[in-house]
Chain A
Amino acid sequence: DAKTTQPPSMDCAEGRAANLPCNHSTISGNEYVYWYRQIHSQGPQYIIHGLKNNETNEMASLIITEDRKSSTLILPHATLRDTAVYYCIVRVASNTGKLIFGQGTTLQVKP
């Protein structure tokens, strides 16, 4: 499984963009990058995923470098409710599709 490296914590001002980096230098060609977040004492919530191209949905944007060795999750206008632990996961390329969680980044959005 490709491993990911994320900074343990980040702060962001409310209303500003939050840019969360992730390094996955050993990613394989058929492995996707997934982002989930976990608000305290809740189950993880899916945010976005991508393979090669940049992706955008109603929650966030995902920017994947051309060599696919790193990516950035962008929350365009962070709110206090975005305070959570954000996990960058490379999905195991098998039929099981299991997700292996790393330590994630604790994002603190401040007023």
Chain B
Amino acid sequence: GAVVSQHPSRVICKSGTSVKIECRSLDFQATTMFWYRQFPKQSLMLMATSNEGSKATYEQGVEKDKFLINHASLTLSTLTVTSAHPEDSSFYICSAREMGTYEQYFGPGTRLTVT
């Protein structure tokens, strides 16, 4: 079956530093990937849509200069949280849409803690 991985699964960083999260589609190609954020006891909130070879589309209220998204290949998208602050601590989840279909597969998530 279609598998999406995320790395790292957990990361702790200090306030003011940047952290990069990778999202990979392991056995399929994905022209589109999505990034979500989830705070405790809340639902997933879509942050941005990442398209291979082009700029990401951010949802309203999401700072594009703080959450840098790069989708350089058909199997990899990265989310970089720049100048992280404690309020950025959250569960970040990516999903990948299989090329030529509408089917989306989710990664296992990355737990970011900013101290």
Chain B, residue nearest A38 (CB): B44
Say yes or no: is A91 at the interface (Cβ < 8 Å to chain B): yes
Give the residues in chain A near B93, CB-CB below 8 Å: 43-44
| With A91-B102, A96-B49, A97-B32 as contacts: A43 and B107 at CB distance below 8 Å | yes
Interface residues of B in 5-33 (CB under 8 A from A): 6, 32
Say yes or no: is A100 at the interface (Cβ < 8 Å to chain B): yes
Say yes or no: is A102 at the interface (Cβ < 8 Å to chain B): yes
B104 touches A97 (CB 8 A): yes
A41 touches B49 (CB 8 A): no
Say yes or no: is B46 at the interface (Cβ < 8 Å to chain A): yes
Contact of B34 among A36, A91, A98, A102 (CB under 8 A): A98
A99 touches B104 (CB 8 A): yes
Please classify the interface of chain B as helix (H, G, I), strand (E, B), loop, or mixed, using the class held by over half of its residues: strand
| Most-contacted residue by chain B among A36, A87, A98 (CB, 10 A) | A98
Give the residues in chain B near A102, CB-CB below 8 Å: 43
Interface residues of B in 46-105 (CB under 8 A from A): 46, 49, 57, 91, 93, 95, 97, 102-105
Give the residues in chain A near B106, CB-CB below 8 Å: 36, 43-46
A44 touches B34 (CB 8 A): no
Q: How far is the CB of B62 from chain A (nearest CB, A)?
A: 13
Contact of B102 among A36, A45, A97, A103 (CB under 8 A): A97
B109 touches A41 (CB 8 A): yes
A96 touches B32 (CB 8 A): yes
Chain B, residue nearest A44 (CB): B106
0 or 1 for each of B103-115: is its CB under 8 Å from A? (1 = yes) = 1111111010000
B104 touches A42 (CB 8 A): no
Interface residues of A (CB under 8 A from B): 32, 36, 38, 41-46, 87, 91, 96-104
A-B contact pairs, 17 of them (CB 8 A): A42-B108, A42-B109, A43-B4, A43-B6, A43-B107, A44-B95, A44-B106, A46-B104, A46-B105, A91-B102, A97-B32, A97-B104, A98-B34, A98-B49, A101-B36, A103-B43, A104-B43
